[in-house]
């Protein structure tokens, strides 16, 4: 899915993202061309650039006319995308993932040790850029990296546990996903020189959008095809990560049948049975309602912002998110 389908209401974005792309690639050049190649691997493999797109759009919410994007805004976007990339390098090692962005993962090509170090290198470059944007942004990005780790550790603690609570799930996705989307928007507001109240509204928007974004991602893991996902359907189930639709199905009439299948490694047949059970309950519908709750909250945060092409783009991106899970 192209980013422009998220933020197409902002006509300047395509050009701004092209500028960002060059800065992103330049930001990971190392002394050693071998490390540069590894650090560029997932950048050149694609990705939607949702987070830098939100940084740029957030910085522009008071602009009615076409104004060239400021370098600090672009570099803020580069820093958030580098943190996202670093987390993907580490996540793929943890999941032993073979494919990312439809390309062999870094760990699959160069092995786990190199993938971890290259991920660290991306985080280091993100931190250096954040420091050049001032102490507030440096502190914010450092805190966000910590929140990603906290969210991921919480998820790890509940793998293969059908007793995982919905509260624990929400806390985990707030850390591993919503915190970076929230920070992407906040950095856009800060580098765009916006008023504190506006920056806070954008931060809240990013958090709520991020919550909806991860719930939709988790719904798709249950309902989408392997072709659409680029990985096996029910991959989270296989890895023992019981997401919201699974937890809600466990509370249903079919919950005890599902419970009997979970808590251990699944072969393809059991995975398909579990998916069949989940799909035959109202769990997906209920999870969608939860995504909708967060999407409405996200849009409520935008209500008091000035109407502009960028504000409209953030509204449209939120609506687009829900359409994905409702088809
Ligand atoms: C070292 C920063 C750091 C973190 C360590 C591994 C880890 C802790 C966190 C993992 C967090 C993670 C992978 C969350 C999933 C977030 C998510 C929904 C990713 C997919 O985002 P998209 O759809 O992907 O924006 P593209 O490829 O389009 O960029």
3 pLDDT higher than 70: no
Q: Whose CA is nearest to atom 4 of ligand 1?
A: 87
Looking at residue 5, what is its pLDDT? Answer: 55
Q: Cα-flanking dihedrals φ and ψ of residue 247, to 5°?
A: -65, -40
What does the pLDDT read at residue 9?
75
258 contacts 278 by C-beta, under 8 angstroms = yes
The 3-state DSSP class for residue 174 equals: helix
Protein residues whose CB sits closer than 6 Å to any atom of ligand 1: 47-48, 50, 83-84, 86-88, 90-91, 94, 101, 123, 145, 148-149, 152, 176-177, 214, 217
> Alpha helix locations (H) across 133-242?
135-157, 166-173, 179-191, 196-223, 226-229, 235-238
Q: How far is the CA of 64 from the centre of ligand 1 (A)?
A: 33
How many Å from the N-terminal Cα to the C-terminal Cα in the chain?
14
Calculate ∠ Cα 138-141-144, nearest 5°: 150
Handedness of CA 99, 104, 106, 110 (dihedral sign): positive
Over the stretch 107-148, which tens digit does the pLDDT of each residue have?
Answer: 999 999 999 999 999 999 999 999 999 999 999 999 999 999
pLDDT at 327 over 70: no
pLDDT of residue 1: 44
The pLDDT of 66-74, averaged and rounded, is 93
CA dist 78 and 25 (Å) reads 9
CA nearest ligand 1 atom 15, residue: 177
Average pLDDT over the chain reads: 95
Residue with more model confidence, 230 or 262: 262
Specify the pLDDT at position 138. Answer: 98
- Among residues 232, 204, 203, 206, the alpha carbon closest in space to that of 220 is found at 232
The residue contributing the CA closest to ligand 1 atom 27 is: 47
pLDDT of residue 6: 63
The span from the CA of 108 to the CA of 114, in Å, is 10
Report the C-alpha gap between 155 and 259 in whole angstroms.
19
* Chain segment 5-48, per-residue pLDDT in tens: 567 778 899 999 999 999 999 999 999 999 999 999 999 999 99
Q: Which two tokens stand for residue 132?
A: 């050049």
* Residues of the chain above pLDDT 90, percent: 90
User: What is the phi/psi pair of residue 100, to 5°?
Assistant: -145, 135
Residue 103: strand, helix, or coil: strand
Q: Which residues pair with 103 in a beta bridge?
A: 100
For residues 240-258, give the mean pLDDT: 97
CA 42 / ligand 1 centre spacing (Å): 12
């Amino acid at each position: 899915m192209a980013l422009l389908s998220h933020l197409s209401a902002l006509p300047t974005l395509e050009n701004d993202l092209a500028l960002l792309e060059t800065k992103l690639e330049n930001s990971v050049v190392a002394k050693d061309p071998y490390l540069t190649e590894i650090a560029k691997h997932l950048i050149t493999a694609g990705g939607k650039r949702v987070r830098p797109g939100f940084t740029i759009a957030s910085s522009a919410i008071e602009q009615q006319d076409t104004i060239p994007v400021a370098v600090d805004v672009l570099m803020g976007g580069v820093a958030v995308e580098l943190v996202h990339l670093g987390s993907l390098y580490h996540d793929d090692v943890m999941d032993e993932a073979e494919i990312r962005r439809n390309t062999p993962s870094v760990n699959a090509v160069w092995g786990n040790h190199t993938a971890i170090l290259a991920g660290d290198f991306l985080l280091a470059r993100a931190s250096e850029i954040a420091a050049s944007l001032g102490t507030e942004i440096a502190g914010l990005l450092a805190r966000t990296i910590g929140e990603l780790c906290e969210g991921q550790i919480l998820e790890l603690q509940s793998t293969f546990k059908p007793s995982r609570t919905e509260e624990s799930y929400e806390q985990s996705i707030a850390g591993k996903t919503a915190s970076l989307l929230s920070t992407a928007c906040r950095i856009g507001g800060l580098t765009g020189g916006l008023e504190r109240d506006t920056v806070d509204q954008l931060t809240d928007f990013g958090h709520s959008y991020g919550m909806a974004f991860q719930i939709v991602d988790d719904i798709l893991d249950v309902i989408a095809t392997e072709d659409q996902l680029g990985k096996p359907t029910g991959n989270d189930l296989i890895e023992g990560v019981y997401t919201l639709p699974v937890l809600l199905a466990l509370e249903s009439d079919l919950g005890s049948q599902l419970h009997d299948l979970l808590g251990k490694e699944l072969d393809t047949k059991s995975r398909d049975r579990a998916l069949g059970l989940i799909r035959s309950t109202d769990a997906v519908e209920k999870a969608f309602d939860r995504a909708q709750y967060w999407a409405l909250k996200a849009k409520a945060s935008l209500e008091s912002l000035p109407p502009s092409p960028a504000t409209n783009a953030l509204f449209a991106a939120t609506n687009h998110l829900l359409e994905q899970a409702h088809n």
